[in-house]
């Protein structure tokens, strides 16, 4: 099968289009014929080796986390899916490989594709949808009447998280450029801060939750918009000791992550705020909950561009510019 692989960690090295064997199918796996694959900044960071200490992969390996396609084979222990089912998923860490014609995934990571979405639209959802769900529902326990600040509202996570937060009954603030204000207001944002004109910490206050996806400076400023007891949840780091424990990292890495996050954890504690880092995980059950929201019309995908499969390197370069509004997808079949 054709696939885009990482041969060597390098910021400038492109993915190689290669012939790779069709993956083996375990007893609990489904083999999916890939129709479309979503691209994420995580793909870029793994390609450059930024996460190689906590997500080691044996090279060459196929890149890609988000996938939509059709089941063509099911393992002997698979009960939820059968050949012919249209599905979508965020392939789990250690078993990624969406930038290919076929991918094998554990059935626990997979959900039926929303009936009202195309394959390209469905492929745009899993990673950002699960990230938003795990931050807002699982970690923040966001409730009706609360206030949440979602940074970078026009990005992949932002466009999904705004809609989910509104569905949960929260008041939503976000940051975008003036050109994207209409987009995020249409998704449900109540307060829109033009980051090129205003500093959000001077505009927002008394918030219950912040979803941080930006740099260290923005992370620290986010403390100032939270009320006592508020939750600062970062998906861009720094990782905290709890993450290290969950990942089962060795003592050296646990110590390193404790040191890297000590500053923000100390500042948060002094303000009576809770800081935590979230690295999203594959979860088919949660994705099925998202499917229901999409089919009900509560959430819609936001697609920026669809590239042909052969242009996967160009698509990844476009994602890396940070200019995409919503998600970028490659059409494999």
Task: State yes or no: pLDDT of 13 exceeds 90.
Answer: no
Q: Which of 204-208, 219-223, 252-256, 312-316 has the lowest mean pLDDT?
A: 252-256
Q: What is the pLDDT of residue 251?
A: 92
Task: State yes or no: pLDDT of 171 exceeds 90.
Answer: yes
Q: What is the pLDDT of residue 268?
A: 98
The model's pLDDT over 127-167, given as tens digits with 9 standing for 90+, comes to 999 999 999 999 999 999 999 999 999 999 999 999 999 99
Q: Which two tokens stand for residue 131?
A: 């990230």
Query: For the residues 57-78, what does the mean pLDDT come to?
Result: 98
Which runs of E-coded beta strand occur in the chain? Answer: 2-6, 16-19, 29-39, 61-62, 66-74, 86-90, 102-106, 110-112, 147-150, 171-176, 191-194, 207-212, 226-234, 274-277, 303-308, 327-331
Query: For the residues 96-116, what does the mean pLDDT come to?
Result: 98
Domains of the chain: 2-124+301-331 (3.90.180.10), 128-277 (3.40.50.720)
**Spatial separation of the C-alpha atoms in residues 175 and 193, rounded to whole Å:** 5
Average pLDDT, the chain: 97
**Spatial separation of the C-alpha atoms in residues 244 and 149, rounded to whole Å:** 26
The model's pLDDT over 275-292, given as tens digits with 9 standing for 90+, comes to 999 999 999 999 999 999
Q: What is the pLDDT of residue 318?
A: 98
The model's pLDDT over 240-279, given as tens digits with 9 standing for 90+, comes to 999 999 889 999 999 999 999 999 999 999 999 999 999 9
State the greatest distance between any 2 C-alpha atoms of the chain, in Å, as a whole number: 58
Residue 92 DSSP one-character state:
P
Q: What is the pLDDT of residue 77?
A: 98
**Phi and psi torsions of 232, nearest 5°:** -105, 110
CB 55 within 8 A of CB 93: yes
Q: What percent of the chain has pLDDT over 90?
A: 97
Predicted confidence band at 14 (pLDDT cuts at 50, 70, 90)?
very high
Query: For the residues 318-327, what does the mean pLDDT come to?
Result: 96
Task: State yes or no: pLDDT of 83 exceeds 90.
Answer: yes
Q: What is the pLDDT of residue 151?
A: 98
Query: For the residues 201-220, what does the mean pLDDT come to?
Result: 97
Predicted confidence band at 11 (pLDDT cuts at 50, 70, 90)?
confident
């Amino acid at each position: 099968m054709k696939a885009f692989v990482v041969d060597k960690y390098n910021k400038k090295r492109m993915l190689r289009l290669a012939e790779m064997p069709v993956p083996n199918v375990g007893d609990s796996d489904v083999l999916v014929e890939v129709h479309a694959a979503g691209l994420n900044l995580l793909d870029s960071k793994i390609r450059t080796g930024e996460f190689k200490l906590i997500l080691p992969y044996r090279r060459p390996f196929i890149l890609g986390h988000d996938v939509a396609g059709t089941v063509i084979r099911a393992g002997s222990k698979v009960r939820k899916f059968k050949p012919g089912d249209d599905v979508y998923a965020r392939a789990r860490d250690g078993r990624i490989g969406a930038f290919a014609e076929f991918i094998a995934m554990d059935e626990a990571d997979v959900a039926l594709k929303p009936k009202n979405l195309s394959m390209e639209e469905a492929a745009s959802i899993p990673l950002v949808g699960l990230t938003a769900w795990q931050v807002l529902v699982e970690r923040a326990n966001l409730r009706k009447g609360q206030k949440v600040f979602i940074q970078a509202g026009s990005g992949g996570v932002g466009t999904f998280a705004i809609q989910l937060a509104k569905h949960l009954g929260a008041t939503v603030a976000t940051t975008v450029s003036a050109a994207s204000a209409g987009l995020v207001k249409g998704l449900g944002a109540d307060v829109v801060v033009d980051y090129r004109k205003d500093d959000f910490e001077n505009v927002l206050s008394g918030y219950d939750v912040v979803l941080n996806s930006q740099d260290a400076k923005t992370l620290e400023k986010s403390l100032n918009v939270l009320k006592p007891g508020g939750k600062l949840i970062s998906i861009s780091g720094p990782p905290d000791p709890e993450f290290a424990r969950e990942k089962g990292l060795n003592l050296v890495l646990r110590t390193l992550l404790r040191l890297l996050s000590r500053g923000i954890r100390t500042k948060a504690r002094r303000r009576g705020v809770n800081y935590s880092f979230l690295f999203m995980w594959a979860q088919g059950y949660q994705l099925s909950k998202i499917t229901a929201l999409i089919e009900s019309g509560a959430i819609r995908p936001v697609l920026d561009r669809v590239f042909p499969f052969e242009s996967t390197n160009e698509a990844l370069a476009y994602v890396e510019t940070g200019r995409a509004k919503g998600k970028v997808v490659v059409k494999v079949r």
